[in-house]
């Protein structure tokens, strides 16, 4: 009888199927993607954001684009923001948080990425508090690191459609008609600060700003390095898959079905763990009985 019990345990252990994964994160750890994307001016945040929108169905929230749109549409928050800007003042954190709060509420998408905010520790803490109230805390922070000489070359090739904020680069994302915006046909402009001297000052300011923010988010933050967006993007995708269990593709937005499947998987895992504990207790009892 005791021998049969040991045999049954041996069968249980040898016949359990082995699960194979193409990444390091089990599917039962599926989470929504709530990403903060950091990077110095010219590091390729816009390019990476577009790829993530396409491949992971994320909603993209750029604080700069959001502010411009609300000002152009003359929304109540946009009108308040324009008053501060007309006086040469920074837009208060409360207004920016209000805009982000409204935008997240309108998304209807659990997967989103944020760039351009926060820029200070105080802003980061205020953002954290707001997201906690929404039960949507950040779960991944990615910092893009590109060599200075590469960024400077990008900056010198950059042209912008000021009203919309659309950015073009003569090296890898040129306008269809030279000097003209693809959407409106209006002329493109160079930013006044797109020159080597101003760039180096802005880069140092960014480093000073970014270091404490990365330290604040250290448990969920990672810095990815490369010379081109094509080098860095596979690293971004790998981090998302391995940390959050979200695979690229049309089903990347967690649905009720996928979340239910994840819950069932967790339940089955817990059941297996409980059975394993029971088996071990039986083995101990059996060994004790045999010794007597």
Give catalytic residue positions.
45, 119, 158, 191, 202
- Please report which residue ranges of the chain form alpha helices under DSSP H: 2-15, 45-56, 63-72, 76-86, 93-107, 121-133, 148-156, 196-216, 229-244, 256-291
Is 160 in a helix, a strand, or coil? strand
- Listed residue (150, 138, 165) closest to 232, CA to CA: 150
Residue showing tokens 């003209």? 180
Q: Is 265 exposed, middle or buried (0-12, 13-18, 19+ CB in 10 A)?
A: middle
Give the CA angle between residues 240, 242, 245 to the nearest 5°.
Answer: 75
Give 189's strand partners: 160
Q: H or E stretch including 62?
A: strand 59-62
- Listed residue (63, 52, 39, 61) closest to 141, CA to CA: 39
């Amino acid at each position: 009888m005791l021998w049969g019990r040991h045999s049954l345990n041996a069968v249980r252990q040898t016949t359990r199927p082995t699960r194979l994964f193409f990444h390091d994160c089990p599917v039962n750890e599926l989470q929504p993607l709530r990403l903060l994307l950091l990077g110095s001016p010219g590091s390729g945040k816009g390019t990476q954001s577009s790829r993530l929108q396409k491949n992971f169905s994320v909603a993209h929230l750029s604080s700069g684009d959001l502010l411009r749109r609300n000002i152009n549409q003359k929304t109540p928050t946009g009108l308040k923001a324009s008053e501060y800007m007309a006086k040469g003042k920074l837009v208060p954190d409360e207004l920016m948080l209000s805009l982000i709060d409204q935008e997240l509420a309108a998304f209807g998408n659990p997967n989103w990425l944020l760039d351009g905010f926060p820029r200070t520790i105080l802003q980061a803490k205020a953002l954290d508090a707001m997201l906690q109230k929404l039960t949507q805390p950040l779960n991944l922070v990615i910092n893009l690191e590109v060599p200075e000489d590469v960024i400077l070359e990008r900056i010198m090739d950059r042209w912008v459609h000021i009203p919309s904020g659309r950015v073009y680069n003569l090296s890898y994302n040129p306008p269809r008609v030279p000097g003209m915006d693809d959407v409106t046909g209006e002329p493109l402009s160079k930013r006044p600060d797109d020159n080597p001297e101003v760039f180096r000052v802005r880069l140092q300011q960014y480093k000073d700003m970014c270091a404490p923010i990365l330290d604040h988010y250290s448990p969920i933050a990672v810095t990815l390095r490369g010379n081109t967006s094509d080098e860095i993007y596979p690293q971004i995708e790998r981090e998302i898959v391995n940390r959050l269990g979200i695979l690229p593709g049309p089903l990347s937005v967690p649905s009720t079905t996928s979340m239910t499947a994840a819950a069932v998987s967790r339940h089955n895992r817990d059941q297996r763990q409980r059975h394993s504990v029971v088996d071990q207790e039986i083995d101990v009892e059996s060994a004790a009985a045999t010794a007597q």
